[in-house]
Amino acid sequence: MSAESKAGYRSAAWFGKNDRDGFGHRSWMRNQGLPADVFDGRPVIGICNTWSELTPCNAHFRHLAEHVKRGVWQAGGFPVEFPVTSLGESLMRPTAMLFRNLASMDVEESLRANPIDGVVLLCGCDKTTPSLVMGAASCDLPALVVSGGPMLNGKYQGRDIGSGTDVWRFNEEVRAGVITIEQFMDAEACMSRSAGHCMSMGTASTMASMVEALGLSLPENAAIPAVDSRRYALAHLAGRRIVEMAAEDLRISRILTREAFENAILVNAALGGSTNAVIHLLAIAGRVGVPLTLDDWDRLGHNCPTLVNLMPSGQYLMEDFYYAGGVPAVVRALGEHGLLRREALTANGRTIWENCREAPNWNAEVIRPWDRPLVEHGGIAVLRGNLAPDGAVLKPSAASPHLMRHQGRAIVFEDIEDYKRRIEDPALPADETSILVLKNCGPRGYPGMPEVGNMGLPPKLLQRGITDVVRISDARMSGTAYGTVVLHVCPEAAIGGPLAHVRDGDRIELDVETRRLHLDVPDDEIARRRASWQSSPPPMSGGYQRLYFEHVLQADTGADLDFLTGCRGNAVPRESH
C-alpha cells in the first residue's frame, strides 16, 4: 500500500508525502525497525507517558504503555510512546503544583508538533492527570485517559492504613507522644507496598474518578488497583478504542461539555473527593471554553450526599472501592436519584448512563445507599465574606461538625516558615477556640499554592486530645487530609487580598451553613492596614518561575497561566525546518 493511499488523518501531512520531507519523516522513524506499511495512512496514536522513577506513583507506566500498544496494533493503529514532564507529588519542591501548567504546555506542544491523530494519556500521581488533560484539551485531538491505578491497601499491625491520611495521623500521634518515632518509621514500608498511586480518596484517586466521570476514560478506569491484571486489560482495550476514536474524530472537546463537568462535580460530592479537584476542573474547563465557576461547585454538590466511605472522609480504601463497584456504581446511584446529566457522551461512544445504568454495588458499607449516606450534604462549600471576597472552599465531609459554626481569635503566621518556627512553642496563645491563619501560600505567594493548608495543631492542644481547630489559608490541602480547613482564600495574601491584613487576636467568624467567612475588624482599620501593605519580589529573577509568578491566575478560576487558557487547536501550517 502506498503512503498516499489513505488520507484524512492528520499524520498524513507527515507520513503521506512522497517528497523529500516525507522521506525524512519516514526514514528516521524506520531506524526503530518499523516496516514500511505502518506509514500507509493508518492512525498514529501517541501514548503520552508520565513514567518516571522520580514519580513513584507512575513508575510502572512503561509496562502499562506496552499493553496500550498491543491494543493499538491490534486495531490497526500505529502506536508511538513519548515522554512528557512527570510531576511527582512526593518529591518535587517547592510543590508539584507550581509545575502543573508547565507540564500542560509540554503536552500541548508535543501533541501539536508531532504526527499524532489520537492520544492515550497515561496519568497517575496528582498533577499528572490535570496537566495531561489540560494540554490535550488545548490541542483538541481525540484523547483517552488510562490511569495508573491505586496501590493496594496499606497494611500495618493488622489493620488497613491509607496513603497520606494515616501519615497525618501518625505524625500527630508522634507529636502528641502517643507513638514512638520507631513505630512511625516502621509504617513507611507498610503503607506503600505495591506499584500505584495513593490509595485513599486523595487527589490522584479523585482526579482518576473525575476523568471517568467526565467521560474521558473507559468505565472502571479510576479504581482498578495498579497491580490488578484487569488494569492491563483496560489499557489494552483503551489502545483498541483510541484507534476507533481517531477514525470517528471523537475529539476531547466533544466530551468535555458543560454536562460532563456537572457530572464530575456531582461524582466528586458523592465520593467525598479532594478539594484539589475544584482547581483542576476549573482549569480544564478554561482550556475548552466551558463556563464553570466556583459557585457551580457549591450549588451542584450541596444536595448530593457523600456515598463513598473512603479515607480521608471515611474508612475504606481504593482497593475496596473497586471491589464494591467503583465509579460506575456511584454514577448509577446519581442517575437513579435524578442528579446525573445522563446524555453526556463518553469516550467509548456511549452516554454515561448507558455505561453505568446497570452497574452493581457489591458492598453497601463501602458505597453507601442513598438513604444511608456517609454525609448528608457532601460536596464543596464555597465561603465568601470580607475575608474572601472571591471565595474560599471547605470540604464538609472532612470537617468537624462542632466547628462548622465558629468564632475565634486569629493566630497568624505570615508564611510557612513563620508557622514552622512557632507552632511548637508552648507559649503560643492557642486553645480549642483559636483559628490558625496562614498567609502567603497561594498561587503567587509560595509560589505554586502548596498543600499546607491543613497545618498541624500546636502540640499542647494535641496533648489535651484536641484534634481539630479551624484553619484558614490561601493554600491547598492534600486530598488525603482532613479537618475544618478553609482553603484557596481569594484573592490571596501575596497580591494584597484581605487575608494579608489579618493580625493576631482579630476575631473571625466561620458559618458554613450560611457560607460566611468574616473578619470582624472595622473597614477603616482594614483600609489602614492595606495602605501599609507591601508586595514581595518574584521568587526567581528569570526562568519558568518568573513567568509563573507574573502570569498565574487566582485559585477561583483554576490557577492556570493567563496565556494558557483556551483551546488553540492542532493545526500546524508549516513543514518542519
Location of C-alpha cell 479515607? 311
Q: Following CA atoms 285, 286, 288, 290 in sequence, which dihedral angle do they give, to the nearest 10 degrees?
A: 60
Question: Cβ of residue 96: shortest distance to ligand FES, in angstroms?
Answer: 9
Of 57 and 392, which CB lies nearer to ligand FES in the complex structure?
57
Question: Cβ of residue 151: shortest distance to ligand FES, in angstroms?
Answer: 9
Near ligand FES in 5-64, by CB under 6 A:
57
Pairing state between β 381-385 and 470-473: unpaired
Contact range with ligand FES by CB under 6 A, out of 42-50, 70-78, 195-203, 566-574: 195-203
Question: Cβ of residue 92: shortest distance to ligand FES, in angstroms?
Answer: 10
Question: Cβ of residue 144: shortest distance to ligand FES, in angstroms?
Answer: 21
Per the structure block, which three cell numbers stand in for 55? 514519580
Spatial distance between the Cα atoms of 380 and 298, rounded to a whole number of angstroms: 6
Near ligand FES in 438-457, by CB under 6 A:
none
Helix, strand, coil percentages in the chain from 3-state DSSP, rounded to 5? 40, 15, 45
Contact between 473 and 446 (Cβ < 8 Å): no
Question: Cβ of residue 456: shortest distance to ligand FES, in angstroms?
Answer: 19
Of 150 and 497, which CB lies nearer to ligand FES in the complex structure?
150
Applying CB under 6 A, among 26, 197, 240, 471 the residue interacting with ligand FES is 197
Spatial distance between the Cα atoms of 142 and 28, rounded to a whole number of angstroms: 26
Of 353 and 482, which CB lies nearer to ligand FES in the complex structure?
482
Pairing state between β 405-413 and 388-394: unpaired
Residue 265 is which amino acid? I
Contact range with ligand FES by CB under 6 A, out of 141-149, 197-205, 363-371, 493-501: 197-205
Question: Cβ of residue 223: shortest distance to ligand FES, in angstroms?
Answer: 14
Contact range with ligand FES by CB under 6 A, out of 72-80, 198-206, 320-328, 448-456: 198-206
Contact range with ligand FES by CB under 6 A, out of 196-204, 442-450, 513-521, 566-574: 196-204
Q: Cα 287 to the chain's mean position, in Å? A: 15
Report which DSSP code applies to 430.
-
Is residue 198 a contact residue for ligand FES (CB under 6 A)?
A: yes
Is residue 89 a contact residue for ligand FES (CB under 6 A)?
A: yes
Of 199 and 245, which CB lies nearer to ligand FES in the complex structure?
199
Cis ω on the peptide bond leading into residue 447 (within 30° of 0)?
Answer: yes
Residue 408 is which amino acid? G
Reduced to 3 states (helix: H, G, I; strand: E, B; else coil), residue 231 is: helix
Question: Cβ of residue 149: shortest distance to ligand FES, in angstroms?
Answer: 11
Cis ω on the peptide bond leading into residue 130 (within 30° of 0)?
Answer: no
For residue 433, give the nearest of 474, 396, 475, 464 by alpha carbon: 464
Q: Following CA atoms 239, 347, 228, 46 in sequence, which dihedral angle do they give, to the nearest 10 degrees?
A: 30
Per the structure block, which three cell numbers stand in for 104? 500542560
Of 97 and 198, which CB lies nearer to ligand FES in the complex structure?
198
Is residue 81 a contact residue for ligand FES (CB under 6 A)?
A: no
Determine the Cα angle at 223 with ends 218 and 226, to 5°: 100
**Site size for ligand FES (CB under 6 A):** 10
- Count of other CB atoms within 10 angstroms of residue 144: 29
For the four alpha carbons of 274, 279, 282 and 285, in that order, the dihedral sign comes to negative
Reduced to 3 states (helix: H, G, I; strand: E, B; else coil), residue 233 is: helix
Reduced to 3 states (helix: H, G, I; strand: E, B; else coil), residue 112 is: helix
The 416-435 site mask, x for binding ligand FES (CB under 6 A), equals --------------------
Question: Cβ of residue 70: shortest distance to ligand FES, in angstroms?
Answer: 26
Question: Cβ of residue 315: shortest distance to ligand FES, in angstroms?
Answer: 19
Of 204 and 278, which CB lies nearer to ligand FES in the complex structure?
204
Is residue 202 a contact residue for ligand FES (CB under 6 A)?
A: yes
Question: Cβ of residue 57: shortest distance to ligand FES, in angstroms?
Answer: 3
Near ligand FES in 111-170, by CB under 6 A:
125-126, 163
For the four alpha carbons of 111, 99, 552 and 301, in that order, the dihedral sign comes to positive
For the four alpha carbons of 516, 517, 522 and 523, in that order, the dihedral sign comes to negative
CA dist 371 to 306, 333, 367, 402, Å? 11, 11, 12, 23
Is residue 330 a contact residue for ligand FES (CB under 6 A)?
A: no
Of 200 and 263, which CB lies nearer to ligand FES in the complex structure?
200
For residue 77, give the nearest of 242, 248, 249 by alpha carbon: 242
Question: Cβ of residue 478: shortest distance to ligand FES, in angstroms?
Answer: 8
Is residue 476 a contact residue for ligand FES (CB under 6 A)?
A: no
Question: Cβ of residue 179: shortest distance to ligand FES, in angstroms?
Answer: 22
Of 202 and 459, which CB lies nearer to ligand FES in the complex structure?
202
Is residue 204 a contact residue for ligand FES (CB under 6 A)?
A: yes
- Binding residues vs ligand FES (CB under 6 A): 57, 89-90, 125-126, 163, 197-198, 202, 204
